[in-house]
Amino acid sequence: MSSAARPPLLIACALRIEAAALRTARGGAAEGALLRTGMGPRAAERAVARALRRPGMQGAAVLATGFCAGLVPGMNPGDLVVAEETRDPRGTVACTATTLLAEALARAAPGRTVHTGALTGSDHVVRGQERAQLRATGAVAVDMESAATLWTAHGHGGRPVAAVRVIVDAPEHELVRIGTVRGGISAFRVLRAVRPAFYDWHRSLLLPRR
């Protein structure tokens, strides 16, 4: 299938620093649209719904990305999380072709650990004991926009969806401000490095299965 006929890819992130990392990534920029939604689940819902109503977005794949908080001891800033599903109070959305996505990320960021599992949503920054409480539900990481992004995409018709997050803080590495400490810088560099993997995943969805 030619790139002109291929259903597009919408990459959604929340923060200006996340968008800056993705815009300065090498390769693949012409293959998809980058949407900065703003911070929080409500902002993500509104922005993604508007984007998917635009002409040409029918059937578009949606990938939520950016930074997150890891929930599992032993995680480090710069580790990657591939969601097998996203969760919020409204329910669960299963992600598409997560094994292919994890493999593409491992190629794009050699030496970085790629975690897979449930990614849970929150309407606020998670700290301290709340992190352990979320881990007890089976989630491996938490952020504010992925679950809302994928729930909204799912509600706008059947389409491939995924979420990839870069850990910016973890149980042993809590941050106060993104971008002012080593963990934030590491996460920025990893997010910039892995954007081409998103296009590898998107292209793989269109290949015939055997």
Residue located via tokens 């300065």: 24
- CA dist 160 and 97 (Å) reads 8
Q: Is residue 101 part of a domain?
A: yes
Closest CA to 57 of 35, 84, 26: 35
Closest CA to 69 of 189, 197, 184: 184
| Residue 117, beta-bridge partner list | 83
Q: Is residue 175 part of a domain?
A: yes
- CA dist 177 and 128 (Å) reads 15
Domain residues for the domain of 61 are 9-204
CATH number of the domain at 101, please: 3.40.50.1580
Q: Is residue 3 part of a domain?
A: no
CB 44, CB 152: distance < 8 Å:
yes
Residue 179's pLDDT is: 43
**At 32, phi and psi to the nearest 5?**
-155, 170
Residue 173's pLDDT is: 62
Domain count, the chain: 1
Q: Is residue 2 part of a domain?
A: no
Q: Is residue 209 part of a domain?
A: no
Tokens representing 153 are 């995409």
Q: Is residue 190 part of a domain?
A: yes
Residue 172's pLDDT is: 65
Virtual torsion, Cα 125, 129, 132, 133, nearest 10 deg:
-80
Segments in the chain below pLDDT 70: 1-6, 26-31, 172-183, 207-210
**Measured CA distances, 205 to 52, 133, 187 (Å):** 19, 35, 27
- CA dist 70 and 5 (Å) reads 38
Residue 127's pLDDT is: 79
Q: Is residue 44 part of a domain?
A: yes
Residue 186's pLDDT is: 85
- CA dist 27 and 76 (Å) reads 26
Residue 195's pLDDT is: 95
Q: Is residue 1 part of a domain?
A: no
